[in-house]
Structure 1
Amino acid sequence: MMKKIVFVGAAFLAVVSAFGQGPSPKQAFEQLKKLAGTWEMKGPAGESMKVHYKVSGAGNTLIETQFPGDAHEMVSVYHMDGKDLLMTHYCAAGNQPTMKYKPGKDSKVLFFDFIRGTNMKPKDMHIHTAKIMLKGKDQIQSDWTGFVNGKKGPTTAFNLKRVVE
């Protein structure tokens, strides 16, 4: 009987391992810190749009600045809160949604989901989810899904390439 239990337990672990698991919150944060530097994408009219990542706070914070110097500049701050990885987005709309990292099955896809916000009512327009796809050392895609009138809204994709400085 004991051999059967051990065999079933080992088989279960093998099946679970085969499906894979994304990085822990701490591992995801370490992956994000590797984005430090300037990234660029082409806007709708072919214009250059930049995003800058900077590790700060003695390595405890990653600051993402979208469209630096622009009138609609926005900042997102990533940091650990105990065992959780949080991201607060300081939006040009004047609100500050906070999202929590949720590990998935793919180690190269980091998913953040809304947990709370300031300067906003629950049904107000805000960024509700963010998905960062690490496509290589020098390429990422960041998909931001909004929330409008209490419902899921459109998704905006940012396809970024690292600027060699």
Structure 2
Amino acid sequence: MAAHATEASFAGNSAARQAFEKLGTLVGSWKPQDTPNSKLTIIFSHTANKTVLLETWMSGERQHSLTVYHLDGESLLATHYCPQGNQPRLKMEAAKTIGLIKFGFMDATNLANTEQSHQHSLSFTVPKNGTVLLRNETYLSGEGIDTSELKLVRSDKGMEP
């Protein structure tokens, strides 16, 4: 007979575990700081007994993309489900800046080669006390590098639904 856990359990207190818990503090809705009337909303939510964090991008009422964060042993992984149809997997890398969580390209599905446009890196500077969240991402293709930064502010109280 299988036992069912009532709470998520993770071994140890690794850097990956600490980063996953820090990302969990982002649960709720976020909007661009400089364009508060933007249709873009980014929603962070837990699922699977809080062992998975979802980052859902909404454009108005339409879902745009999804990134799924989860622990894999001593690693923190992010799989980005892109509107381009590929799914890059990124792995957390060591960061020297306090509060910075960064991910680098590991591999991808539905990507014939790395010359095709794909998310290649992603980072967060996680806010303290509800301040501005910085989210940076880099897309790589045969045409070069495209880097963007979003400054996000909470548009709710950060409560779990």
Once the two structures are TM-superposed, the CA of residue 71 in structure 1 deviates from its matched residue by 4.8
* Pairing partner for 1:125 from 117, 122, 142: 117
- Residues 72 and 149 (structure 1), Cα distance of their counterparts in 2 relative to 1, 3 Å cut: farther
Q: In the TM superposition, what whole-angstrom CA distance separates every residue of 1:37-90 from its partner, at most 9, and x where no partner exists? A: 111115779524210000111110000001255556100000001110000000
Aligned-CA RMSD value = 2.1
Q: How many residues align?
A: 142
**Range with bigger deviation, 141-150 or 36-45:** 36-45
The equivalent of 1:91 in structure 2 is: 82
Counterpart code for 2:99? K
- Residues 87 and 95 (structure 1), Cα distance of their counterparts in 2 relative to 1, 3 Å cut: same
Q: Is residue 160 from structure 1 mapped to residue 139 from structure 2 by the alignment? A: no
Alpha-carbon contact 1:25-1:103 (below 8 Å) kept: no
- Residues 107 and 158 (structure 1), Cα distance of their counterparts in 2 relative to 1, 3 Å cut: same
TM-score (norm 1): 0.78
Secondary structure in 1 matching 2:17 = helix
Segments ≥4 residues shifted beyond 4 Å: 42-46, 68-72
TM-score (norm 2): 0.80
The equivalent of 2:10 in structure 1 is: none
2 CA distance for matches of 1:112 and 1:144? 9
Secondary structure in 2 matching 1:59 = coil
Q: Which has the higher contact order (CA 8 A, sep 6+)?
A: 2
The equivalent of 2:140 in structure 1 is: 147
Counterpart code for 2:152? L
- Residues 68 and 49 (structure 1), Cα distance of their counterparts in 2 relative to 1, 3 Å cut: closer
Larger CA Rg, structure 1 vs 2: 1
Structure 2's unaligned 5+ residue stretches are 1-13
2 CA distance for matches of 1:70 and 1:42? 20
1 CA distance for matches of 2:18 and 2:74? 11
